[in-house]
Each structure stands twice: as C-alpha cells, then as structure tokens.
Structure 1
Amino acid sequence: MKKSVTAIAATLLAGAVLLCPPAIAAQPKLTGEQQLAKMLEGREAGKPVDCIPLSQTSNTTVIYKTAIVYRVGSTLYVNRPTNADLLDNDQILVTRLTGSQLCSIDTVQLHDRSMPHMWNGFVGLREFVPYKKAAAK
C-alpha cells in the first residue's frame, strides 16, 4: 500500500510539473519601456550629464530596443542612444572612447554573442540621465 501511495504522489507531482511551464510562458513579456520603468521604480531623474566615469561603472544593462543603463555606485545612468532599436539583451557591447570617460560623443559597436567577431551595427551615445533613489519622506 505504501508503494501505491508513493506512486500516486509521484504521478501527481510529475503532472503538476508538466503544467507549470505553459503558465510561466503565458505571462506577457515586458516591453523595453516597461523593463526600464521597473528598473527605475523608486528613483528620481536628475539633470542629464554628458560624461560618466567609466572606471567607476560597476554594471551595464541593455534594455531591449530602448536604452543602456550604467550603474555608478548607487546611481543608475540611463542612455537612450541613437539606433536604440538595434539594442538586444544578448549582445556584446564594444565601446569606442574618445577620452578617459564615457561620453555622449562615444559609440558602441554591437556584437552577436553567438558569433562575437560579427557585429550587428552600432549606437551613438547621448546624454546620461542619472536616477537616484528617492529621498524617504
């Protein structure tokens, strides 16, 4: 009897696992603008700047067909480059600097991750908009 209860439980568990993936896949995929809004929740925009210190940048996130977000300390800098419609989350970014900082006149080559030697175009950086956590009220 113990074996039959165990077999029934295993069958039910396997059935439940098979039902989960469609439920996950059924969730709507967020647009680039929605992804960016979610990332910036609880933050306030500051005055745009032309350059940020690349040496202090700890993380770079590509937002699909929308923007590149650079983290410097606790500040997120959002750059909406020219040709943003070419941005894909699965690309390697190769930045061409004109100085020691990352500036609005720099360009970024987009390389296919599966074939890194093949490039998919480029984007031209624009002003960086800083987003800092909103002050507690």
Structure 2
Amino acid sequence: MKLRVPTLTMIGALCALATLSASQAEVAPTPAASQKLAKALEGRTAGQPVNCIQNIRGQAKMRVIDDWTILFRDQSTIYVQKPRSECVGIEDGKYALVTRKFGSGEICSGDINQLVDVGTGFQAGHCTFGEFVPYRRIK
C-alpha cells in the first residue's frame, strides 16, 4: 500500500496535535507552584471562564506561578491563565512574555504571545493563551 505525501503530512499533523493536547493534561504542577497558587487564591472562589480580560495600558498586573500558570489581577479579581502550550522559561525569568495587541485593550484566549530572551532580546518561542478563570473574594 502506497501512501501519498498529503496523506503522510496529515497523519503527522494529527500525531503532533495529539501529542500537544496530551502533554498539557499530563503536566502536574510542582508542590511549590501548587502552594504559591493556593496562597494567591486563598479566600476566593472560581467563576465561569471568560475568553478575554481588560488590559488597558497594562492595568492587569501579571504574576507568574510556573511555566503553565499565570495570574492576572484586575482590581479585586484574579484571573488564572493556563496557557494551551507551555510558556517555557518564564518561571525562572529567563524569558519575558510579550503580547502585541493593536486597537484592543484586551488579552484573549487564543492570543499567541512571544517569549523573548531577557538577555539578548531574541525571540525564543511562543505560547498560546487559553480561557481566563476569574477568582473573586467570598462574601
């Protein structure tokens, strides 16, 4: 049986996609990351995930928990961002997360963010945001 090149390409793409989607599900946070996240969300409860959050002039303050978890604080709400792909190197400060948005004051699910080497300024990869889960204080 002879497979044509487009068929092989499609099979390869599907295998790569399956690997990427499985890799995020298999990654468990370290105990230190779990502890940092629990402390940051203490006294708060999760709301329904949202696709976008406001970030006019960088008002949503970002805090990195690990390469798989980023927090954004907008006033009293903390949004938990679990990127669809790992943001390799942001936890240890080796890379900076750069988002380029023109004409919008929002950060959204599906945004592709560049990872830039802090020392050289060269692009070192990218990661894609997923939905944002809001955590608000329990009243």
TM-score (norm 1): 0.68
Q: Quick check: 1:31–1:64 contact (8 Å CA) kept in 2? A: no
Q: Quick check: 1:66–1:87 contact (8 Å CA) kept in 2? A: no
Q: 1:123-134, aligned counterparts within 5 Å?
A: 123-134=127-138
Q: What root-mean-square deviation, in Å, do the aligned CA atoms of Structure 1 and Structure 2 show?
A: 2.1
In the alignment, structure 1 residue 107 sits paired with structure 2 residue 107: no
Report the secondary structure of 1:34's partner residue.
Answer: helix
Report the secondary structure of 1:35's partner residue.
Answer: helix
Q: Quick check: 2:90–2:97 contact (8 Å CA) kept in 1? A: no
**Partner Cα separation in structure 2 for residue 121 and residue 73 of structure 1:** 30
Q: For residue 47 of structure 1, report the CA deviation from its aligned partner.
A: 0.5
**Partner Cα separation in structure 2 for residue 37 and residue 87 of structure 1:** 22
Q: For residue 97 of structure 1, report the CA deviation from its aligned partner.
A: 3.0
The count of residues paired between Structure 1 and Structure 2 equals 106
Report the secondary structure of 1:123's partner residue.
Answer: strand
Partner of 1:11: none
How far does the alpha carbon of each residue in 1:54-80 deviate from its partner, in whole angstroms, 9 at most, with x for none? 116341111212211111111011110
The higher radius of gyration belongs to 1
Q: Which letter does structure 2 place at the counterpart of 1:60?
A: M
**Partner Cα separation in structure 1 for residue 52 and residue 111 of structure 2:** 10
Q: 1:1-137, aligned counterparts within 5 Å?
A: 30-55=31-56, 57-84=59-86, 86-89=88-91, 90=93, 91-97=95-101, 100=104, 101-115=106-120, 117-135=121-139
Q: Which letter does structure 2 place at the counterpart of 1:110?
A: L
Q: For residue 98 of structure 1, report the CA deviation from its aligned partner.
A: 6.9
How far does the alpha carbon of each residue in 1:1-23 deviate from its partner, in whole angstroms, 9 at most, with x for none? xxxxxxxxxxxxxxxxxxxxxxx
**Partner Cα separation in structure 1 for residue 69 and residue 103 of structure 2:** 22
Unaligned runs of 5+ in 1: 1-28
Q: Which letter does structure 2 place at the counterpart of 1:123?
A: C
TM-score (norm 2): 0.67
